[in-house]
Structure 1
Amino acid sequence: MRTVDFSPLFRSAIGFDRLFDLAEAAQRAGEETYPPYNIERLDENRFLISVALAGFSPDEVVLTVEQNVLTLEGHKSEKEGKTFLHRGISARHFKRQFTLADHVEVKGASFENGLLVIDLQREIPEAMKPRRIAINGAVPSNVAQIESKAA
């Protein structure tokens, strides 16, 4: 049995740490790998998930988000009266789930050329961003918001 070590990916992944845990658990459980997908990092807080859905139309795919879980389901409508000599394009139903990190939101999704592209954005609330606290006796001009990138 072939195993994959995802630990090097934890260092460079922002917002998808738990996703790698799920991928590793899925590999151990022998879960099927359909439909194939890519996760692309555009910058520190933006990600794209591209899912290959050849043969599906947008109305046969449902995308939902609930409590940091992004769920993608596909239900292929079968047309009666078709006789296949060879059937290589999958027409099976599927359900794939992605666990999103805290403060990662789905900004949109588009379906083009057989690819479903899901745009994700990490937005840290102002209350959670680091800020400098004034210390009694300090000169007031030293008090300012710290400009930093969220981890």
Structure 2
Amino acid sequence: MKLSYLLIGCILIVFLAVMPAQAFTAKTLTVTLNGNGDAQADMQYDLTFVEQAAIFFHAANPASLLQTALQENLNRPVTVVSAGTSSADVIIPSFATVVQSGGATTMNTPAFSFADAQNGLKGQWYASLITADFAPQTTTITFPDGYQATFNDQISIPSISHTLS
């Protein structure tokens, strides 16, 4: 019996030693604006089994971490509606500025970046053990008139100005 546990333990150690350690991987970020500039953001991501277990056992709180990171990056309060092992939904009040001039409405979104999160990870003691990818494979910002701006594999998203049709 002890030999079987020892064998399983050795196999597990070898498996973990040769397996690349991938951490958080951003898949998609979808930001949907409403007419007053508020935004609903939905992020889809992958987590390792260990990260998922930490959330399941309440050792990690992705909602709190996400809220703090977004509020610091955007300089405004945000509400995390949900955050789990594969996605997060966030409400961002006044994400876009709305300007009305001559009967036209123009919306301007701020530039934002995940580079701070990427750089923040580099300062952690476990940084050499994992590889995290904070640049979403696809970021889509949808305006109230249906116009979409799409970015692929970009860690920083520029400001967008769009006049609603």
TM-score when normalising by structure 2: 0.28
Greater relative CO (CA pairs within 8 A, separation 6+)? 2
Structure with a larger share of its residues in strand: 2
Structure with a larger share of its residues in helix: 2
